[in-house]
Amino acid sequence: MLFALGLANQIFAQQKILTLEEAIQAALANNYGILLAKNDAEALALDADYVNWAFAPRLNATLGTVWNNNDQRQEFSDGTVRQRDNVKSNNLAASVALNWTLFDGMKMFVTRDKTLEIARTGELVVKEQVVNTVALVRNIYFNIVRQKQQLKAIEEQMSVSEERVKVADRKLSTGLGSKPELLQANVDLNAQKARQLQQQTLIAQLKEQLNQLSGMRLPEEFDVVEEIPIDRNLDLNEIEQNIANTNPSLLLAERNIGIAQLTLKENEASRYPTLSFNSAYNLNRVDNQTVVNPFQPLISGSKGFNYGFTANIPIFNNKLLLRNIEQSKIAIAGLELARDGQRTDISTSLRNAFRSYLYEQQALDLEEENINLAKENVAIALERFRQGVSTYLELREAQKSLEDAYDRLIAARYNAKLAETEVLRLKGDLVR
């Protein structure tokens, strides 16, 4: 058994040590949620790149030609009849038209600002996705570390149980022990072996989850660090004072309110008249190879430039404009209420996470002290069991106390890290 554990540890040591920073970089480059958010942001940014062209005039050209082949017949009042079969003609029409909106109640400027604001929301959506993904990567990464520590604790307990089996077997062979004592020692050892296998499976599953977050770009075999570092220097007051400027969700809520306010300005601008400049150059030509009517020209055409101004003055539109304005005001009020509710939720979550952060640190300090006591207690109980001055029940009780102490210690480390990550996630400070 010891040989197998040594071989497993040697293979494990040959695996690449994946740092948290490497895992985060892999996720930032390959996570599908982040890539999709970036794709949407690029589409919005493209609109912003072309936004100033909305002020430019619109210029369109048309060109068309029609070939006709008709049979024609004309009867006049004096009884004269003129008839031609297979009369061919060609009609050519071309036009270049320019339309330029000179004034629309400043709506075009508001639309430009709105487009730029929408593009900025894309950046915030990406940041929010990045922060949430990094938080998830951290949690899974340190969960792997936690489960590794749990596996190490199980294997430490297994070494005590193996020694307990040897002592029980030796005592039985010398007539100083009992068969139930040996059987119970083997049962406890097998239970720990089963827990070891379960723990190894859990670690492999968590590694797959971490790899999935990274777009399956992590090494096929990798290991993680041994410890869970805790940042004990977070300041709640500092975070709360600046959270409105750092939390992506709150920034996004404020940005959406700004966009809704610009939508209101767009609707209000529709109250004003619009003034446009229009111009066109037209060309028309008709070519008749033959005509029925002698007064009809064989070739006729026209060309020329024309221009003018068009004013569109809104007078009455079934109060559609008024309804749109009122709807915009209601939308702004709703977004402000949602923003205030979100601010309250985030503040509550932050305070709760920070309380957990402080509590788990205190629990961690206590369990760090307690684990040493539990280890010493097991060592004493094992030695007493070897000497035959205590029963296996006393040793088993000491083992159970050590097992519980390890569980509490490892859980306190991980929970403190979870709380730290949650505080930083709410602050929006996981990625700069």
The domains found in the chain, sorted by start residue, are: 2-30+104-158+200-272+319-427 (1.20.1600.10)
Q: Which of 331, 373, 424 has its CA nearest to residue 381?
A: 373
Classified as helix, coil or strand, 107 is: helix
Q: Which of 147, 197, 89 has its CA nearest to residue 413?
A: 147
**pLDDT value for 2:** 38
Alpha carbon distance 380, 386 (integer Å): 10
Q: Which positions ≥6 away from 55 have C-beta within 8 Å?
A: 108, 112
**pLDDT value for 292:** 61
Q: What are the E-state strand segments in 6-57?
A: 16-17
Q: Which of 285, 364, 293 has its CA nearest to residue 93?
A: 285
**pLDDT value for 11:** 45
**pLDDT value for 108:** 92
Alpha carbon distance 104, 99 (integer Å): 13
Residue 426 token pair: 């709410």
φ/ψ of 161, rounded to 5, equals -65, -35
DSSP class of residue 57 equals P
Backbone region of residue 412 per phi and psi (left: phi > 0; alpha: psi in -120 to 50; beta: other values) = alpha
Q: Which positions ≥6 away from 119 have C-beta within 8 Å?
A: 41, 44, 45, 47, 48
Strands 274-288, 222-223: pairing kind:
unpaired
Alpha carbon distance 68, 128 (integer Å): 64
Residue type, 388: G
Per-residue pLDDT 10s for the chain (432 aa) are: 333 444 444 444 457 899 999 999 999 999 999 999 999 999 989 988 888 888 999 999 999 998 888 777 777 777 777 777 777 778 899 999 999 999 998 999 999 999 999 999 999 999 999 999 999 999 999 999 999 999 999 998 899 889 888 888 888 888 877 888 888 889 989 999 999 999 999 999 999 999 999 999 999 899 999 999 999 999 999 999 999 999 999 999 999 999 999 999 999 999 999 999 999 999 998 877 666 666 667 677 888 999 999 999 988 888 888 999 999 999 999 999 999 999 999 999 999 999 999 999 999 999 998 998 998 998 898 888 888 787 778 888 888 888 899 999 999 999 999 999 999 999 998 875
Residue type, 236: L
**pLDDT value for 5:** 41
**pLDDT value for 4:** 41
First to last CA, the chain: 48
Residue type, 431: V
Alpha carbon distance 115, 50 (integer Å): 10
Residue pair 304/284 in contact by the 8 Å Cβ criterion:
no
Residue 346 token pair: 């985030």
**pLDDT value for 169:** 87
DSSP class of residue 430 equals S
Q: For 328-356, give the DSSP string.
A: HHHHHHHHHHHHHHHHHHHHHHHHHHHHH
Using a cut of 0.85, tell me whether the model's pTM lies above it. no
**pLDDT value for 198:** 95
Residue 263 token pair: 């939508």
Helix (H) or strand (E) holding 120: helix 107-173
**How far are the Cα atoms of 10, 18, 86, 136 from residue 222, in angstroms, in the given order?**
13, 6, 85, 19
Number of helices (H) and strands (E) in the chain: give both, helices first: 9, 6
**pLDDT value for 396:** 84
Alpha carbon distance 141, 318 (integer Å): 61
Classified as helix, coil or strand, 156 is: helix
